[in-house]
Amino acid sequence: MTEGAVIETRGLTKQYRGGQLAVDHLDLTVPAGSVFGFLGPNGSGKTTTIRMLMGLIDPTAGTARVLGEPVPRAVRAVLPHVGALIEGPALYGHMTGRDNLLRFDAADPTADPRSRGARVGAALERVGLTAAAGKKAKAYSLGMKQRLGLAAALLQPRRLLVLDEPTNGLDPQGMREIRALVRELAADGTTVFLSSHLLDEIEQVCTHAAVMTRGRLVTQGPVAELSAGARGRLAVTTPDPADAVRILKELGVTDLVVDGDLVTGEPPTGSGGSSGGSGSDGDGGGDRETTDLAELNAALVHGGVRVRAFGLQRASLEDAFVALTGEGFDVAG
């Protein structure tokens, strides 16, 4: 196993009866201490992978190790150190939120019954459910159920926390709170493996990410490096957007989009860098890119377009995903 890896798979494959290949030869490495985003559209194989890692289903081929141990063979030794929220929490609807957690804690053979109440109270407070702890779970909203499931995963200190779409059903404020909680857990030393179909969720909270599509791994690595490989979009702020679009289109700018006084588009191949600075360092490539952008700017001005701002937007994880796969993606749900 790779040194410092909390999760590692090699050739991990799951093929269902009928021939459906849900996960296709997955080689994944999750570094210890990371917040690792497992990113892909719904149906890309994320949940199937997680279910194999947790020993819930057997792989068709390949191997997986979690916390250094092979799964599913050593899953009983691994799971006490792993908190998981997979495909939504399984709750007892007739019981209160607090009683649900008391039962979950009692089912853990490693849990000290003498401190059970304190653990449950701390978990409820951490996910913002203290005020609703006495309400029956069947009366909880979907977002509250997600929070309660997360609280169950946090009853004990965990080396690894596996979260499958943890903000599903939450309002924007709830999403922000869960993301802040994930960051706190990572700061405390817990490795967090977070599956999501939301690009901005991964970009805001994760240090590393892997991109899945159609059961296959497209890329993995630090989030900053994944987005660094993609070009940013040209952005022009002007009170003359129609004229700007006409001129930029003539100069080879594609995928032009107008939003009020903001015009964005894909710059011609070879354009890049920044419109500012001399670009004198390096081998001259920066000079060419800067000149290309300067020429676009000059053409706009020469054409009578009043340019208030001009430059390249920072490339996002969405840009990287589209560049890698040619597919669109959910950005914010």
Lookup: tokens for 269? 């191949």
CATH architecture of 5-228: 3-Layer(aba) Sandwich (3.40)
Q: How many CB atoms lie within 10 A of CB 286?
A: 17
In the chain (333 residues long), the average pLDDT of successive 10-residue segments reads 87 91 95 92 88 94 96 92 84 95 92 94 93 95 88 91 86 84 88 87 87 89 73 86 94 91 83 39 43 84 92 66 56 42
Domain locations along the chain? 5-228, 234-314
- Report whether 219 contacts 226 (CB < 8 A): yes
DSSP class of residue 81?
G
Measuring CA to CA, how many Å separate 140 from each of 12, 91, 152? 37, 10, 15
Helices 241-250 and 285-302 sit at what angle, rounded to 10 degrees? 130
- Report whether 117 contacts 176 (CB < 8 A): no
- Report whether 95 contacts 137 (CB < 8 A): yes
pLDDT at 290: 46
pLDDT at 110: 85
pLDDT at 191: 96
What gap in Å lies between CA 83 and CA 250, rounded to an integer? 55
- Report whether 156 contacts 84 (CB < 8 A): no
What gap in Å lies between CA 256 and CA 235, rounded to an integer? 10
CATH architecture of 234-314: 2-Layer Sandwich (3.30)
What stretch of H or E contains 188? none
Q: Which ranges of 96-215 does DSSP label H, i.e. alpha helix?
A: 97-106, 116-126, 142-153, 172-187, 199-205
pLDDT at 322: 61
Tell me the residue type at 58. Answer: D
Tell me the residue type at 212. Answer: M
pTM for this structure? Answer: 0.71
